[in-house]
């Protein structure tokens, strides 16, 4: 029986891996012996829904959240926080499927796992960022004491990384973040060898945190490029440190274990922000009883819902229609819904930068990209500008015509629409670079790796897509007969 180890490296940027690959010997070796490439993230690209998609093989419409908060009634604000209980009620993730198939598993610091997952004959170290720190964050409860002894204290979060850029002690941040990631790598080894787990999935937050702190030191195109030479190579060095840790894990794996390195989105430079509700007010789509004297969030705005057609929530370009018969004070007739979406899309695509220059604005209708039992709770439109290098704000009160936001503390880094994956080991087919893979392909791939799939051609366990080996079988054209035979033999080893 094969085992699988998933190393989630939050924010790993495939463009930077290509740029620095010669300085990342372990990833380079994995790419040479396995399958790798960019992976399409969710719309919008961000946790925790991207990680949930990767573990259940279903799109966000199946579980009904597109950010850290959600609505399960048609309210105008979002005061319910995503947690493991709502995920468990709505979809089946690998950490529920695999134990039912007799597999021992361990989950470490994966978004959406608070409160701790109660896994039969398994283990969970919960991702409880933003939750009360004095509560038990492990399953079983006694695991807290065990890992505390193993690690001499477990670092749940690096609070300093959440502070304003101008307040960061940057050298201290680098040390703390690497210590935190190192603990998670040590736990991976512990669950593989001491706990004999069949599936270990751990998420390392360090690359994302360091990217937020040091991308502007590396990228000269950054609006707030930092010329401090002390930190110019800090991000590259951190990638190299993580590469070394990946290599340490790979060296410890036996021939029946497949390693999967995954980032469900990347961290990239952010070029600016569009205040989307401000834009909606100025374009007659949102009406206020009183315009605020200072910028105010959605929950503080005096909105006249009887005259408001739509509004936006959050920072990722989500637009909701105030639909009659759905929202409590809905005014848009369902017969006019599609036309309003088209009109809004046309106007949004004309948004320019602060100099009037055309930008690449993509607008997605929800029902064109998502489906499922909870899809109607989601945004009616998603907006993406310049490949997500521009973000959005929900505040209103900047003044007439002021929809662009440039502030050194808010214009920093953004989530990119593509992540990275690399799979190698145990006769996994190796055609090399294979792009166009989706997060939804990950869960069925793990099922395949572990020889737990249903007959070929069937979507396993309510998942929406086939595995990566199935895609390879259908798509790959080997460059030579020898390479073709090699791939065929590996697919046969997986049961194809």
314: alpha, beta or left? (left if phi > 0; alpha if psi -120 to 50) = left
Cα dist from 112 to 120, 202, 366, whole Å: 18, 13, 23
Sequence-separated (6 or more) residues with CB below 8 Å from residue 230:
none
Whole-prediction pTM value?
0.93
Q: Are the C-beta atoms of 226 and 150 separated by less than 8 Å?
A: no
For the cut 60, the answer to whether the pLDDT of residue 120 exceeds it is yes
23-37, 163-177, 406-420: range with lowest mean pLDDT = 163-177
Sequence-separated (6 or more) residues with CB below 8 Å from residue 486:
430, 478
For the cut 50, the answer to whether the pLDDT of residue 247 exceeds it is yes
Count of other CB atoms within 10 angstroms of residue 152 = 7
Domains in the chain, ordered, with CATH? Answer: 3-270+416-474 (3.40.720.10), 272-411 (no CATH)
Find the mean pLDDT for residues 223-230: 89
Find the mean pLDDT for residues 360-385: 97
Find the mean pLDDT for residues 206-232: 92
Q: Are the C-beta atoms of 197 and 123 separated by less than 8 Å?
A: yes
Say whether 362 sits in a helix, a strand or coil.
strand
Find the mean pLDDT for residues 19-46: 96
Q: Are the C-beta atoms of 233 and 218 separated by less than 8 Å?
A: yes
For the cut 50, the answer to whether the pLDDT of residue 457 exceeds it is no
| Cα 476 from Cα 121, distance rounded (Å) | 39
121-135, 195-209, 253-267: range with lowest mean pLDDT = 121-135
Q: Which helix (H) or strand (E) holds 19?
A: helix 14-20
Query: Phi, psi (5° rounding) for residue 300?
Result: -105, 0
Torsion, Cα of 286, 287, 292, 296 (10° steps): -30
Question: What whole-number percentage of the chain has pLDDT above 90?
Answer: 77
Find the mean pLDDT for residues 164-188: 87
The DSSP string of 105-138 is EEEES-TT--SPP--TT-EEE---TTS-TTS--E
Count of other CB atoms within 10 angstroms of residue 333 = 12
């Amino acid at each position: 029986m094969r085992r699988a180890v998933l190393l989630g490296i939050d924010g790993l940027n495939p463009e930077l891996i290509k740029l620095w690959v010669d300085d990342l010997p372990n990833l380079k070796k994995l790419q040479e012996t396995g399958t790798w490439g960019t992976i399409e993230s969710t719309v919008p690209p961000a946790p925790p829904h991207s990680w949930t998609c990767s573990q259940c093989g279903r799109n966000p419409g199946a579980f009904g959240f597109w950010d850290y908060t959600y609505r399960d009634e048609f309210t105008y604000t979002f005061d319910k926080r995503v947690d493991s209980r709502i995920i468990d009620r709505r979809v089946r993730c690998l950490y529920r499927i695999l134990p039912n198939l007799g597999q021992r598993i361990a989950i470490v610091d994966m978004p959406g796992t608070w409160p701790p997952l109660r896994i039969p004959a398994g283990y969970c170290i919960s991702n409880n960022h933003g939750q009360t720190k004095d509560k038990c964050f492990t399953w079983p409860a006694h695991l807290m004491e065990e890992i505390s002894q193993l690690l001499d204290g477990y670092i749940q979060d690096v609070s300093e990384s959440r502070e304003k850029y101008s307040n960061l002690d940057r050298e201290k941040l680098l040390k703390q973040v690497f210590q935190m990631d190192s603990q998670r790598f040590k736990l991976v080894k512990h669950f593989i060898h001491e706990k004999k787990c069949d599936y270990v999935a751990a998420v390392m937050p360090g690359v994302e945190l360091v990217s937020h702190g040091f991308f502007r030191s590396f990228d000269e195109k950054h609006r707030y490029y930092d010329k401090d030479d002390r930190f110019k190579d800090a991000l590259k060095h951190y990638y190299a440190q993580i590469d070394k840790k990946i290599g340490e894990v790979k060296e410890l794996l036996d021939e029946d274990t497949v390693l999967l390195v995954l980032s469900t989105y990347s961290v990239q430079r952010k070029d600016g922000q569009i205040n989307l509700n401000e834009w909606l007010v100025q374009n007659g789509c949102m009406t206020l009883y009183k315009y605020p004297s200072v910028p105010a969030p959605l929950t503080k705005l005096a909105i006249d819902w009887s005259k408001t057609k739509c509004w936006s929530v959050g920072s990722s370009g989500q637009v909701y229609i105030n639909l009659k018969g759905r929202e409590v004070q809905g005014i848009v007739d369902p017969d006019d819904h599609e036309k309003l979406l088209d009109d809004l899309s046309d106007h949004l695509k004309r948004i320019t930068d602060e100099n009037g220059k055309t930008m690449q604005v993509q607008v997605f209708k929800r029902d064109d990209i998502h489906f499922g039992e909870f899809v109607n709770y989601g945004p009616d439109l998603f907006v993406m500008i310049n490949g997500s290098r521009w973000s959005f704000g929900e505040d209103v009160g900047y003044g007439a015509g002021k929809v662009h936001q440039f502030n050194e503390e808010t214009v920093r880094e953004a989530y990119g629409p593509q992540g990275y994956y690399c799979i190698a080991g145990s006769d996994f087919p190796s055609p090399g670079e294979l792009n166009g893979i989706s997060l939804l392909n990950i869960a069925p791939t793990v099922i395949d790796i572990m020889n737990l799939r249903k007959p070929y051609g069937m979507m396993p366990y309510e998942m929406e897509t086939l595995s990566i080996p199935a895609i390879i079988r259908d798509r790959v054209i080997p460059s030579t007969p020898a390479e073709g035979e090699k791939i065929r033999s590996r697919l046969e080893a997986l049961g194809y």
